[in-house]
Structure 1
């Protein structure tokens, strides 16, 4: 028997005996789609930081049987077409089993429909369109973020307390904005309220002058705002000269105020309310640890989008552990009904529509030490906001 053959045999034996954490097939590869230009670019840094922390922390503190994770990043232009191209590259070239990242609702709809063909499980911690757990739900798509339905349902009691007043609406002329506007109008009507002026602004609007003038001309008692990113900053600044915020008794935001936008919005949004899936002072030990680690490493307070990205990675690792497999199909099969430890405590992904059942935080912008800050007002448990699975989701039959 040749020395070369014996050496090869020895190497093979070493590979067989190698501990699980160093075997290539024992690594869960997660592809992250990121947008670094345009109105959503303000969320890019938070996502990158959350992914970095997740890769470090979840590998160092793995539960028995949980795989190591590797995160591969891919930037794209923010459109469904470029997202699909980037996701295809991650699946084919990097052989990722899971896709996550910055996925606006229109992008998520496309990726949800193509996930099974790409042989990946999509864990979405970004999009909020309620249709993603309704008509657009799919076998390999799982919604980790809050939907419009979840965050708006948290406002239900506040709307009821206002009584039969009139509400104006400013929303992004985009899937999320229109869905949020329609849902809010139904909630308001259910409590005897009426709808006044409704304005839609295209994504990427830099001049809200026309909408602000229309709203200021004859304001209702309440204002509902559903816009985000740089658009939200522009609106907050521009409404100041009309003192629009002072014309309303109450202003409710949807994706309007975040840690990312608050610096630019400054005191123009003091007193406004905003719902979140998470805030840095959320009262769990894991949440505090995450917020402290983030602050120590990056000298910044994490936003909810960073937390949702971290939770999506937690869910992916837990699903692979439950499946006992790194095959995308097996991970996708393990996710429905999965209960796992997260920043928000122990959470479950509902099998019927693949929505993560999670609480919602109602916050208000207050002045703290001379600066605007987000303060938790109420934490609404998931049982009061999730409702029943959307009957338009047919995951129980042919999807």
Structure 2
């Protein structure tokens, strides 16, 4: 054999051995595809990614899943629906991931849910709060972890009703989540307080609020109370302009998500004291499951967890749990295993409901206070998500048949 022939044979043998090694490595690892809008919503998603990382460490430290290493392959969808669908397909076809998890904005979550339905791929939606993902546009392959827009709105309504305020102003980011929150609040309030009036609505584009103009428009309507679903930078601008112009004086204000550290911490001593909110009082939760999570998170990252940390951790744990329950990566068996799946989370055990694929994860409800120049939640309690869901009969009317 001449030297050239020997080199070709050697190269071919090396390539074959590399292929075998790669195949063996792939067989030793179970990969799940994850996509999210990391650059767009960094305040929430940086802690979210840390929560996922902690969960993966814990899963692999206890033997992985089905005797194999558990891995999450992440991509940044840039908050764009088209890019999210492209990446979902890349994760499933090129990366050969078992199924999909993640997403943050509601419109992106819905786009990936549509992809999951079309391609018959399991999708565990982590953060998108839209009600449509489990109800109006629900499908066989899509499940959702976080308490939905409807659920968190319903958690605030009892306190709103106690105040018996008649004239309400509403302000919301003008996309799926904000629209759904507004619709749910109006519906739930009208059912219990028929004389309620909604005297003004302001719907600025997400991330582009002209807070001064919004505050002036609300003030001109002279409401008794305000319901808001603003978050992030829009919320901060609204709070500052509202305080400067005296909008909130003498008015009850309710705001979804404003008690989450991601959005409350940046306000520091400007936190709007007295607001009714949903959030995450990490500093006061003493349940064993939360303490275990908190201690592990603090030890690993030298930082306290945010709500995103809880969501990332619980999403990864859900992905591992369904694989273990199914005992296989067969897609239809994974989907069947998701129905009724129970998962231990830092907020307690949650169940993915069979009737609509919504998990029973709840949220903390309370009011904003100030301590040491920083916003905190006060008078808070945990609202069990299972208690703030529509009846099975109502779900059946809203959700398409599989």
- Specify the TM-score bucket, using the shorter chain as the normaliser: 0.7 to 0.9
Q: Tell me how far 1:298 sits from its aligned partner.
A: 2.6
1:341 aligns with 344
Deviations 1:126-174 (A, max 9, x none): 1111121111111110010110111111123212211252211110101
1:120–1:140 contact (8 Å) kept in structure 2: yes
2:258–2:279 contact (8 Å) kept in structure 1: no
The separation in 2 between residues aligned to 1:322 and 1:340, in whole angstroms, is 11
Secondary structure at the aligned position of 1:205 is classed as coil
Deviations 1:252-290 (A, max 9, x none): 111344211223223242221211478564443222222
Does residue 374 (structure 1) correspond to residue 377 (structure 2)? The answer is yes
Equivalenced residues, count: 377
2:5 aligns with none
Q: 1:227 aligns with which of 223, 226, 230?
A: 230
CA 1:213–1:109 in 2, change beyond 3 Å: closer, same or farther? Answer: same
2:10 aligns with none
2:321 aligns with 318
Matches for 1:13-28 after TM superposition, within 5 Å: 24-25=26-27, 27-28=29-30
Which stretch has the larger CA shift, 351-360 or 234-243? 234-243
List gaps (5 residues or longer) in structure 1: 1-7, 16-21
1:107 aligns with 108
Secondary structure at the aligned position of 2:257 is classed as coil
Q: 1:254 aligns with which of 253, 256, 259?
A: 256
CA 1:106–1:295 in 2, change beyond 3 Å: closer, same or farther? Answer: same
The separation in 2 between residues aligned to 1:315 and 1:199, in whole angstroms, is 37
2:83 aligns with 82
Matches for 1:268-283 after TM superposition, within 5 Å: 268-276=271-279, 279=282, 281-283=284-286
The separation in 2 between residues aligned to 1:163 and 1:252, in whole angstroms, is 14
TM-score normalized by the length of structure 2: 0.86
Deviations 1:182-215 (A, max 9, x none): 1101122123222121111101214212111111
CA 1:260–1:66 in 2, change beyond 3 Å: closer, same or farther? Answer: farther
Q: Tell me how far 1:67 sits from its aligned partner.
A: 5.2
Does residue 30 (structure 1) correspond to residue 27 (structure 2)? The answer is no
The separation in 1 between residues aligned to 2:271 and 2:82, in whole angstroms, is 36
2:212 aligns with 209
Secondary structure at the aligned position of 1:354 is classed as coil
Secondary structure at the aligned position of 1:48 is classed as helix
2:165–2:224 contact (8 Å) kept in structure 1: no
CA 1:168–1:67 in 2, change beyond 3 Å: closer, same or farther? Answer: farther
The separation in 2 between residues aligned to 1:77 and 1:36, in whole angstroms, is 7
Deviations 1:29-80 (A, max 9, x none): 1222122333x23222112211211111222235885753201111122011
The separation in 1 between residues aligned to 2:66 and 2:388, in whole angstroms, is 34
CA 1:298–1:233 in 2, change beyond 3 Å: closer, same or farther? Answer: farther
2:60 aligns with 59
2:236–2:267 contact (8 Å) kept in structure 1: yes
Q: 2:293 aligns with which of 272, 290, 293?
A: 290
1:166–1:220 contact (8 Å) kept in structure 2: yes
Which stretch has the larger CA shift, 122-131 or 340-349? 340-349
List gaps (5 residues or longer) in structure 2: 1-12
2:271–2:375 contact (8 Å) kept in structure 1: no
The separation in 1 between residues aligned to 2:218 and 2:308, in whole angstroms, is 30
Q: 1:329 aligns with which of 327, 332, 337?
A: 332
Q: Tell me how far 1:245 sits from its aligned partner.
A: 2.2
The separation in 2 between residues aligned to 1:130 and 1:231, in whole angstroms, is 22
Deviations 1:66-103 (A, max 9, x none): 75320111112201111111111111111112322233
Deviations 1:350-387 (A, max 9, x none): 11110001333102221122322223512222342123
2:9 aligns with none
The separation in 1 between residues aligned to 2:180 and 2:357, in whole angstroms, is 19
The separation in 2 between residues aligned to 1:147 and 1:219, in whole angstroms, is 30
1:66–1:320 contact (8 Å) kept in structure 2: no
1:165–1:221 contact (8 Å) kept in structure 2: yes
Secondary structure at the aligned position of 1:351 is classed as coil
CA 1:376–1:68 in 2, change beyond 3 Å: closer, same or farther? Answer: farther
CA 1:382–1:77 in 2, change beyond 3 Å: closer, same or farther? Answer: closer
Deviations 1:220-248 (A, max 9, x none): 22111112222222222222211222241
